[in-house]
Amino acid sequence: MQIKSAQIVDWMQERINSLGGEESDKLQDSLSELETAKGRLERNLEIVKEENPERCPFCGAGVKAPDIEDRISAIEDEMEGVQREINEISEEQSAYRKKRKKLRKKLSKFEKAKENYEEKRAEVEGEDA
C-alpha cells in the first residue's frame, strides 16, 4: 500500500506540473495573441468610425464598421473559449492538489500507525523472550 500510494502522490504531482506547463503556456500565448488582434481591430474600428474611409489605405479593400465589429465579436468568442480552457485546467490542478494533500495525510497516519504497531510488536516479542 505504501509504495502504491507514494507512486500515486508522485503521479499527481507530475500531472499538476504538466497541466501548468506546456499546455497552459500555449493557451496563455493564444489568449495574448487574441487580445493583441482584438486591440488592433478596435483601433481600426475607431478610425473607420471617425474618418469613414471607403477603402483601406494599404490594401484597397472595402472597409465597413459592421465587418470589423463582427471580427471583434468572433475574436471575443474565441477568447472566452480559451479562457474557459484555462479555467478548466486551473480547476483540475486544484482538484489534484486537494486529493494529493488528503492522500499525504492518510499516508502520514498510516506510517504513524505502522510505527506504533512495530513498537508494540517489539515490546510483545521482548516480553515473550
Q: What is the 3-state secondary structure (H, E, C) of the chain?
A: CHHHHHHHHHHHHHHHHHHHHHHHHHHHHHHHHHHHHHHHHHHHHHHHHHHCCCECCCCCCECCHHHHHHHHHHHHHHHHHHHHHHHHHHHHHHHHHHHHHHHHHHHHHHHHHHHHHHHHHHHHHHHHC
| 118 found inside a domain | no
| 110 found inside a domain | no
Please indicate, yes or no, whether the overall pTM of this predicted structure exceeds 0.75: no
| 124 found inside a domain | no
| 74 found inside a domain | yes
- Compute, in degrees rounded to 10, the torsion defined by CA atoms 24, 29, 34, 39: 130
Q: Is 89 exposed, middle or buried (0-12, 13-18, 19+ CB in 10 A)?
A: middle
How many domains does the chain divide into? 1
pLDDT tens per residue, range 28-87: 999 999 999 999 999 999 998 998 888 877 787 888 899 999 999 999 999 999 999 999
| 48 found inside a domain | yes
User: What is the per-residue pLDDT for 128?
Assistant: 64
| 63 found inside a domain | yes
User: What is the per-residue pLDDT for 129?
Assistant: 57
pLDDT tens per residue, range 106-129: 888 988 998 999 998 888 887 765
2 pLDDT higher than 90: no
Nearest to 19 by CA among 96, 98, 117, 99: 96
C-alpha–C-alpha distance, residues 97 and 91, integer Å: 10
User: What is the per-residue pLDDT for 97?
Assistant: 87
Domain that holds residue 78: 11-99
| 22 found inside a domain | yes
Q: Is 30 exposed, middle or buried (0-12, 13-18, 19+ CB in 10 A)?
A: middle
Residues in a beta bridge with 62? 55
Q: What is the CATH number of the domain that holds 85?
A: 1.10.287
